[in-house]
Structure 1
């Protein structure tokens, strides 16, 4: 997802269950809540069921209306697209047996597996994909995710605007097993996009037969994923059962899954301790006491929190001042000692584990381009102060949530310790902070971006439009690199463009100072194996899990 259009998802979108409010766990917070959970689990054997939880209600199961990770969690497990993310977060053929890409990288031809069936026995065909994708690009879609297709597919935007007919859009069911997709420009991550729920198929006849009742309950949907819904209540949760019609059913090991709604973290932790849930997400305050527990683990998300500098501000327009502020921050201590929730110190804008060249990640290839160096910080600060003609006053704009306040206080102490300056913290609501940044009324601010897909471009093109929110950064060199990367048909040259662009943005021009890659800490029952959470897109996979 791009810019303000998306949440993190995915394409996030991008975000993990834990951070998006979906988690796995067990808990009690009140006796009543515990009894309710125990009653709900009554009759389900612990050796054939994984029980997880989400902290927010499931908003909808209507595919073209869903935009939250809570809904995506369920959709990702009762349906799938041409490709599915594997346990290593790489796309692998799912409903498609293969995909052929033309030499100019503008035509993708997906071929379905033989004998695919919906859960009601209806044959699943390429027409189901064509119907679904056109639905997502039409005015019917209310999830604000149309761009995830219209940005790439020929005449998609025109169709969405009512200026082109369906037959003019670059999505064609050539026959029952073949879907041909034509793109506007080479998009190396397009296959990865097909792992997202917006790209899942829909059976036109069934959807139309249900009308306004489609997606309201388990019986008003049909399924093509590892599981089917047997019960669905937005407020209390969902029950899933293994889909015997699924093409890869032999490799689905866990017969039953329950996704509960538990809003309080303390209640979830208590439920986990009571054996009611399979996994729990820990708060930062719980991590120190739990780190020695053999059931403890942590994971990073594709989400970078960073300092955004305002290049039009008199003080922050000075590059030496920006360099000083960046070098003055001990990110390792921030991530590992202050946050202590699985977050990792940021060494560049692009987070750890994001795709690079298939052999190494982007971060491994580009290395550490942002670091802590107190002596360099002082050196750059003195140069900047001399150029400005005196010691400046600096304010740090932040959101008023507890985590961001903690980060801001830590930064304030680092600037005092390593630069000898008193930085004022200006704490606002998220809405007010965003407005101040949009209105160019800030000096520097703590902000973040979560990946919408597994490619560095989900970050890199944010700074090409020169908006105040992105520091009013305007660079012909940077924009040229991104423009070339977007049209580049040579994957190595495209990657090199983005590697250079990241160094230009962070190290050379010091437009942003990355702080940390957000993470989550868990406890998972010892009998639960391979319960995979993805750092982007739909967050959790039950398909690969097993129980011992």
Structure 2
């Protein structure tokens, strides 16, 4: 995720390594539970058991205010007590939610959304197009938006950047509430993934009168929030957990089968695993050490997240400024071996920057269209290394900068060993706190480092436009060809041509210039109770859906 273009990615990832990464089960429907029986009828069937889901997260629940929430735990709660124009389905496609449809102009710049009839907030107030306009303008306004995600609107909506910077007025922003049910949005450029963006909690509506009535207290407790999603929040303690109950006023309440969801805060993985074994949790995340002993369990499964961990080379640094040195390093490690033998958590060895399953041309994924951009090749790696040393006139001394979490340290140790085995070189490892690592990279004070990026939306652009900003954190990459590919893709209205431009950009980034060397895509290993169906995990944006869950 972006947040001043990289910081949110980090917080997103560190927190979503947590636990609410659900499961892509496609659950069948069941009838809503009975509300009771006649106690005088001795032959009456007993009441249906309550449909309650029990899950957990590994960190505190920070925020209920969508204008300040930026972590995945908060987004999970907001996604299930709220809703936008569209919601992701079990296949990660946007489907109509509060909107009953959209009309898109031929030039793909004007979106006219029509809201459903009878939409209501949890206090009975009608939901209108004006609620979306108010919320979106508040997200762009530096005085009200504190989550770092204003860019997700200002990058796309006309007049947004000017309004956010104080150089334009709200009236000049391309958002118009024509009437209570009609919202018109004007985009700067064709954005094929715009409907996917509207599924994010930052695009949810807000009731202006209610928000202003709560003032600084908005979002601090269940009573200071209005709900328009499948559930309402009845209990909330940031340190211990939350309780969600079915929202009877939700427009699609008939298709919500859970009565309640209990979300506990459990920081120790061993404690969570014990709670799962005792039947107190319906799902648990496994550590790498627990995978081997559970992989034959029928309740075991693995998932991929749209998050890529990679080597970022500093193109201005000694040694790695040489492209042949970078190519040698990229071909000197086996990403599959890392995923299968070290991480063991469902991670997938990377063969490109863009993860598997990310959308491509509508028929094939981006990864299927591109294929593998590199794979381990010790002989070729040595050839590149020798050529690089010859061009530099010396053998460079290399230091790998890494953050101090256990997974990154394990990855760094693996890479160090691979470089020794396949290139015969000793690479030093410099371990810093996340903050210190970021500062060194921001100041261009590194050779190469391990970092990561999590997708904001299901499109390759969420990765590839990062290296058009020429920042030290992105390796000081300067390429007119790359910039032109990205700029052309952003303005291209033909989807096939646009995809081809992005394929060229990834190849230039990873294979030709080797600005980055992808390592792996985040994985999740889990156990989930067999009576739970329809717990859907999205590999980007709002991560987990409780709406479709049924307990057998």
TM range (shorter): over 0.9
1:318 paired with 2:322, answer: yes
Superposed CA offset, 1:20-76 (max 9, x none): 454679xxxxxxxxxxxxxxxxxx997510011112221121221211111111110
Match of 2:176 among 154, 172, 178: 172
Equivalences for 1:509-528 in 2 at 5 Å?
509-528=513-532
Aligned residues: 528
SS of the counterpart of 2:375? coil
Is residue 13–residue 451 contact of structure 1 (8 Å, CA) maintained in 2? Answer: no
Distance 1:518 1:330 in 2: 16
- In 2 relative to 1, CA 398–16 (structure 1 residues): closer, same or farther, beyond 3 Å? closer
Structure 1's 513 and 424: CA in aligned 2 closer, same or farther, altered over 3 A?
Answer: same
Q: Is the 8 A contact 2:309 2:452 kept in 1?
A: yes
In terms of mean alpha carbon deviation, does 174-183 or 214-223 score higher? 214-223
Number of the residue aligned with 2:17: 19
Which stretch of structure 1 is more off in the superposition, 403-412 or 385-394?
A: 385-394
Q: Which shifted more, 464-473 or 347-356?
A: 464-473
Structure-1 residue corresponding to 2:112: 109
SS of 2:263 mapped into structure 1 = strand
Q: Which residue in the other structure is 2:305 paired with?
A: 301
**CA drift at 1:418:** 0.8
CA distance in 2, matches of 1:255, 1:463: 46
Q: Is 1:76 paired with 2:85?
A: no
Which shifted more, 310-319 or 129-138? 310-319
* C-alpha RMSD of the superposition: 2.0
Superposed displacement of residue 217, structure 1: 2.2
C-alpha distance after superposition, 1:216-239 (max 9, x if no partner)? 222232211111112222222111
Other-structure match for 2:546 = 542
Distance 1:147 1:390, change over 3 A: closer
Q: How far does the alpha carbon of each residue in 1:134-161 deviate from its partner, in whole angstroms, 9 at most, with x for none?
A: 1212221222222211221112222223
* Pairing of 1:343-358 with structure 2 (within 5 A): 343-358=347-362
Whole-angstrom distance in 1 between the partners of 2:72 and 2:533? 22
C-alpha offsets along residues 81-133 of structure 1, whole Å, 9 cap, x if unaligned? Answer: 00001111111111111111112221111111122222222221111111111
Q: Deviations over 1:470-529 (max 9, x none)?
A: 121111111110111111122111111110000011111111110000111111111111
1:372-387 equivalences under 5 Å are: 372-387=376-391
Q: 1:448 is paired with a residue of what secondary structure?
A: strand
Assess, with a 3 A threshold, how the Cα gap between structure 1 residues 475 and 237 changes in structure 2: closer, same or farther. same
Given the superposition, is the C-alpha separation of residues 279 and 7 from structure 1 closer, same or farther in structure 2, using an over 3 Å criterion? farther
- Which residue, out of 482, 488, 491, partners 2:486? 482
Partner of 1:395, secondary structure, is strand
Q: 1:196-275 to 2 correspondence within 5 Å?
A: 196-275=200-279
Q: Which residue of 2 aligns with 1:468?
A: 472
Partner of residue 332, structure 1: 336
Partners of 1:3 and 1:66 lie apart in 2 by 12
How far apart, in 2, do the equivalents of 1:23 and 1:361 lie? 22
In structure 2, the residue matched to 1:130 is: 133
**1:323-472 map, 5 Å:** 323-472=327-476
Deviation, 1:278, is 0.8
Q: Distance in 1 between matches of 2:261 and 2:119?
A: 23
Q: Do 1:7 and 1:450's aligned partners in 2 also have CA atoms closer than 8 Å?
A: no
Aligned residues of 1:18 and 1:281 also touching (Cα < 8 A)? no
Are the equivalent residues in 1 in contact too, given 2:155–2:161 (CA < 8 A)? yes
**Aligned partner of residue 235 in structure 1, secondary structure:** coil
CA distance in 2, matches of 1:72, 1:398: 28
1:265: how far off?
1.3
Q: 1:199 to 1:13 in 2, by over 3 A?
A: farther
1:119 aligns with 2:117: no
The 3-state SS of whatever aligns with 1:181 is: strand
What is the CA distance between 1:298 and its match in structure 2? 1.2
Q: 2:155 aligned with 1:151, yes or no?
A: yes
More moved, 393-402 vs 194-203 = 393-402
Q: Distance in 1 between matches of 2:117 and 2:13?
A: 34
Unaligned 5+ runs, structure 2: 24-46
Q: Is the 8 A contact 2:3 2:148 kept in 1?
A: no
| Structure 2 residue 196 is matched with structure 1 residue 192 | yes
Q: 1:39 aligns to what?
A: none
CA shift digits 1:242-275 (9 cap, x unpaired): 1122111121122211111111111111111111
Mapped to 1, the partners of 2:222 and 2:360 lie a distance apart of: 40
